[in-house]
Structure 1
Amino acid sequence: MRKSRNMGANHSHKTPVFDENEDVNFDHFQILRAIGKGSFGKVCIVQKRDTKKMYAMKYMNKQKCIERDEVRNVFRELQIMQRLEHPFLVNLWYSFQDEEDMFMVVDLLLGGDLRYHLQQNVHFNEEAVKLYVCELALALDYLQRYNIIHRDIKPDNILLDEHGHVHITDFNIATVVKDSEKATSMAGTKPYMAPELFQTFLEGGPGYSYPVDWWSLGITSYELLRGWLLVKEPECRPSNLKDIQNSPYLADVNWDAVLEKNLPPAFVPNQKGRLNCDPTFELEEMILESKPLHKKKKRLAKNKSKDSGKESSPLNGHLQQCLETVHNDFTIFNREKFRKSRAEDGQTSKIENETCSQMHEKTQDGQNNNVLEPFYTSVPS
């Protein structure tokens, strides 16, 4: 291990002179202190001996990279970062190697990453997040113009400078696509990954492109505003009305007014001659559907006439049994009669309790599906 004098405690004030034609190497930098550690790389603050400028230096052990099949990612990150320079990126300044390590010297951002500040319970207000979104949007647009998908936008990879501006870092899993090409590999951090990325991996979809970064930006901005992400464990997330009503964000809501529909919605759909639905649904029903609903009456009458006077062909016995069970168990309901009966009998609570009890008995643990289960498990699709 290097002695303390080599870590910056006692160094010569004489500025060294390096040959301009010499490649920058490890000797050109003074190591000051470590500030980060990853799975196969570390980050430290360095000062360039001749210019006295401060940087962050990431160094990655070659053997570990090889053992973990990460060399390709390191090379790709270098190739990508060499092409880029933007006010809201962590820009690469130098890269070099020795027998043990590969080195990347980049902008030094001393404001910490947004994950750190979230863990410190920093509250980001809407004004702050709005500026972050604007700055990050400019950076993502710049990357898109260079055909780059970052694929790992999240608070951990967004660093603040001393003035509080944001900078995107870590291009380790970034990829380059050209023209109409799509990326297809599974890459990213799951809570921030867009749906089409999962679809591509699980269902063999058409691939994904730049929009996945904008999805991640949306998730990140939500997390910054709320202070947390979507929570998997049911016991750790809001699970009833009281939890929602106790949220500070909804502290000023008049819930009685909400129930009575006395609060005017911010958006009112246009009702002038419009159904506010996609007209292709109706066209598909009329043109493509083999048994369209609007011809059901005529179709059933025709089938009934065709079958009259002759014995109909028997259905599969098990299928027939299931159909009969569904027919017998189906609940017929008429709200007008229900309301009239309730008003006449004055037994609102009794009727409601009986109805809820019956529904609970039928739906508890999916019991209402049991009659069909043998059919779906025994009849091939």
Structure 2
Amino acid sequence: REDTKRLKTLTVIFFSFFPAVNFDHFQILRAIGKGSFGKVCIVQKKDTKKMYAMKYMNKLKCVERNEVRNVLKELQIMQNLEHPFLVNFWYSFQDEEDMFMVVDLLLGGDLRYHLQQNVHFSESTVKLYICELALALGYLRTKRIIHRDIKPDNILLDEHGHVHLTDFNIAAIVKEDLRATSIAGTKPYMAPELFQTFEGSHPGYSFSVDWWSLGITAYELLRGQRPYVMRSSTPANEILQTFHKVHPSYPAGWSLEMKSLLRKLLCIDVQKRISCLAELQDLDYVSDVNWDAVLSKQPPPGFIPNRRRLNCDPTFELEEMILESKPLHKKKKRLARKTKDQGSDGCRSLSVLIIIIRRGKPTTGFHLTQLLVITCSLVCLLKVCLEPSAIRSVKDRF
């Protein structure tokens, strides 16, 4: 039923009351990929000419896939973060079809792409990646954030070859002295203690799971394959058996120091695993590292992405142009035509209405009382379009 569809759109919650920017402030250049938030394209802000990556997700699909909570959480986390080795957040806004998030544009491609291109990463390059990502993890720990999905796919390179961690879609915020208990991640990169949670025999986990994932990622970059053979479909009990029966092999060509570091990152015993920045910095292997210089991106990486082409799968743009039923570059004309067809029927425009709420302290000066007034006003307006039973359902949600 049409009314049911209208009601479903009201379950989507997005940040910021009246955003400072909107879709019209950006020029769409080309599609470059897909992420946890949805699709990704390169855009240019018209007034400043600055380039960004714009992530966007269809709101109805977000509701249908039950992804509202994760989208909100990612926005909540990213708006409070800023670090040289993260993909930093700039803007969020929406229109009647999509939600948008504008972030740093990094044209070096993700590490998964380069692995697929058979790039050989030297030990010195991987060592620098470990140091840069360790600084990012140290920063996230000060914010009480566990990323939970560190893998080559979520590590982007800038044009100079420095790493940036992205995709906080399944990240967790843990309070002081508490542990996370929900199961999240990509199985081949998940720490052993997460699989113990599957069996209901573990009280939880903490920041150490990200350091395990860092170890798996570093091993894969050096060797081109992961230390444990498993897939996302592998049952948890089989994975636990693998951890206890299989011991990762370390090629003779790797330095003793790198092998020692990886063993400390891939230690099944959480108490013996490197689990924080200070523990990494205490190792002799990184005693020559100037951490202030690393933070300011002074050491040059050994691998520089090709600057003369986009380091991504070109099929993303073909999909957007050929297969997408509502391509982003035609949005303005499409919405203008829709508005013209609807004319002055304001009731129909409510079918795509999204109530916008920012969790925590509002930055626009709105107070809870004002929010309730707005909500009640919107409910009254909806009476024109929705049945009484639907109105009661809307009220119950607030």
Question: Where on the TM-score scale, by shorter chain, does this alignment land: which range?
Answer: 0.5 to 0.7
Structure whose alpha-carbon radius of gyration is higher = 1
State the distance in 1 between where 2:170 and 2:218 align. 21
1:32 to 26, 29, 34: 29
The answer for unaligned runs of 5 or more in structure 1 is: 1-20, 234-246, 253-265, 268-381
CA distance in 1, matches of 2:138, 2:146: 10
Distance 1:248 1:133, change over 3 A: closer
Query: How far 1:41 moved relative to its partner?
Result: 1.4
Aligned-pair CA distance for 1:38: 4.7
Give the C-alpha shift of residue 22 in structure 1.
6.8
Q: Once the 2 structures are TM-superposed, how far is the Cα of residue 204 of structure 1 from its aligned partner?
A: 3.6
TM-score, length of structure 2 as denominator length: 0.53
* Residue 90 of structure 2 corresponds to residue 61 of structure 1: no
Q: 1:119 Cα shift?
A: 0.6
2:103 aligned with 1:106, yes or no?
yes
The runs of at least 4 aligned residues of structure 1 exceeding 2 Å deviation read: 37-40, 230-233, 247-252
In the superposition, relative to structure 1, how do residues 213 and 39 fare at CA in structure 2: closer, same or farther (>3 Å)?
closer
Matched, 1:116 2:110: no
Work out which of the residue numbers 144, 147, 150 in structure 1 matches 2:147: 150
Q: Which residue number corresponds to residue 125 of structure 2?
A: 128
- How far apart in 1 are the matches of 2:216 and 2:186? 12
Distance 1:204 1:231, change over 3 A: closer
TM-align CA RMSD: 2.3
Correspondence 1:346-365 to 2 at 5 A: none
Q: Give the whole-Å Cα distance in 1 for the aligned partners of 2:153 and 2:26.
A: 27
Is 1:231 paired with 2:212?
no
* Mapped pair 1:80 → 2:77: yes
CA deviation after TM superposition for structure 1 residue 159, in Å: 0.1
- For 1:181, the aligned partner's letter is L
Percent identity at matched positions?
79
Report the AA paired with residue 79 of structure 2: Q
Match of 1:203, SS state, is: coil
Secondary structure, counterpart of 1:76 in structure 2:
helix
Q: What do the CA deviations read for 1:183-225 (whole angstroms, capped 9, x no partner)?
A: 1111000010001111122224110111100110011001111
Give the structure 1 partner of residue 321 of structure 2: none
CA gap 1:191/1:174 in 2 versus in 1, 3 angstroms = same
Tell me the amino acid that sits aligned with residue 148 of structure 1: I
Q: Deviations over 1:237-272 (max 9, x none)?
A: xxxxxxxxxx994489xxxxxxxxxxxxx99xxxxx
Q: Alpha carbons of 1:251 and 1:54: their partners in 2 closer, same or farther (altered >3 Å)?
A: closer
Query: How many residues were matched structurally?
Result: 221
- Equivalent residue letter for 1:224: L
Deviations 1:46-80 (A, max 9, x none): 00000000000000111111011100000000000
1:184–1:201 Cα contact (<8 Å) kept: no
5+ residue gaps in structure 2?
A: 1-17, 232-248, 261-398
User: Where does residue 182 of structure 2 map in the other structure?
Assistant: 185
Q: Equivalent residue of 2:164, what SS?
A: strand
What is the SS of the residue equivalent to 1:72? helix
Partner of 1:242: none
Q: Distance in 1 between matches of 2:135 and 2:208?
A: 14
The answer to whether the 8 Å contact 2:19/2:92 transfers is no
Letter in 2 for 1:114: L
Question: Higher relative contact order by CA 8 Å / sep ≥ 6: 1 or 2?
Answer: 2
Cα 1:202–1:72 change in 2 (3 A) is same
Tell me, what secondary structure is at the counterpart of 1:131? Answer: helix
- Name the CA shift for 1:61/1:219 in 2 (closer, same or farther; >3 Å): same
Question: CA shift at 1:232, angstroms?
Answer: 4.5
What is the rounded CA distance, in whole Å, between the counterparts of 2:68 and 2:98 in structure 1?
Answer: 12
- Among 124, 142, 164, the alignment partner of 1:167 is 164
TM-score by length of 1: 0.55
Once the two structures are superposed, the pairs formed by residues 1-381 of structure 1 within 5 Å of their partners are 23-38=20-35, 41-229=38-226, 230-232=228-230, 249-250=251-252
2:19 and 2:181 map into 1 onto residues whose CA distance is 41
Give, in angstroms, the shift of residue 144 of structure 1: 0.5
Aligned partners of 2:172 and 2:36: how far apart in 1?
A: 20
Return the alpha-carbon distance in structure 2 between the equivalents of residues 201 and 163 of structure 1: 41
